[in-house]
Amino acid sequence: MKKNITKRKLKRGEVAIGVAITTPSPDIAEMLSNLDFDWFFIDMEHAPLEVKDVQLILQAIESSNITPIVRVPWNDPVIIKRVLDLGAMGIIVPWINSKEEAEKAVKACKYPPNGIRGCGPRRASKYGLDTLNYLRMANEEIMVVVQIETINTVKSIKDILSVKGIDATLVGPMDLSASLGYLGNPDHPKVKEIIYRIAKAHIGTEVAPGIASSVSKIKEHLEVGFKFVNVTSDCDLIIRGGQEAIRIVKRIIHEIV
């Protein structure tokens, strides 16, 4: 089993930059794994990725230094178990609203005596060639990330951060703004105030504060203390890159024709 480079980076207080993988294409994931990202945010919640898609993506990036972290669709130990058995090095659990839900997420990611994860690490253990080593290392190397997306989570933030086994959080600004009554407006001053307060709540804990950010907002998010930061997505890179190319080409056409 590989050592979790991203987890170690966060433990040192460094910033770890991620990109969301939302298309069921191993080719796109493989291309992006050649770039200098620290981790992949492989999204099964809002993207059309099934377990088999996740396996193909993991296989495509196997030779890279990318830490593959999968956002599962729900806080479900069955799907978490299956994804970890494929070789994911971390799990992002959405919609955590209480200390009890956070504890449930941690237990689903850990083998006994720390949790309830079933023992059958198929691909993760190199199909049986590395089973004992994998079982020895898994509880320590696999990251557990809980999402902060609702007002209830904000109210319970201190209790959630006290749960042993959580390595990082991930603020979802869009869902959080909706929960606060500002649907579609994560830049509302009151939403920003709550986000800054969330970052500060991590001070003095061993949990790295994280957020789904963007290239345009990363400066302000880093300045308030976020360390585990998603900055873009495969779709965004394709769409915005294509948009800029078309803009340049059309401007040249207009100048010449």
Cβ atoms of 73 and 44 closer than 8 Å: yes
- What CATH code would you report for 5-256? 3.20.20.60
How much is the average pLDDT of 52-72? 98
The predicted-structure confidence for 101-141, as pLDDT tens digits, reads as follows 999 999 999 999 999 999 999 999 999 999 999 999 999 99
* Average pLDDT value for residue range 182-202: 98
**pLDDT tens digit string along 214-250?**
999 999 999 999 999 999 999 999 999 999 999 999 9
Identify whether the C-beta of residue 148 lies closer than 8 Å to the C-beta of residue 198. Answer: yes
Q: Which residues pair with 211 in a beta bridge?
A: 171, 229
46, 188, 221, 254: the active-site residue: 46
Q: Would you call 114 exposed, middle or buried from its count of C-beta atoms within 10 A (0-12, 13-18, 19+)?
A: middle
Instruction: For residues 145 and 153, give the distance between their C-alpha atoms in angstroms, rounded to a whole number.
Output: 14
The answer on pLDDT for 257 being more than 90 is no
Tell me which DSSP letter residue 123 carries. G
Mean of per-residue pLDDT scores for the chain: 98
Our answer to whether residue 254 is catalytic in this structure is no
Q: Are 42 and 72 in contact (CB under 8 A)?
A: no
pLDDT for the residue 160: 98
Orientation of helix 51-60 relative to helix 77-86, angle to 10°? 30
Residue pair 42/54 in contact by the 8 Å Cβ criterion: yes
Q: Where are the domains of the chain?
A: 5-256
pLDDT per residue over 15-36, tens digit each?
999 999 999 999 999 999 999 9
Which 8-state DSSP code applies to residue 207? P
What pLDDT is recorded for position 71? 99
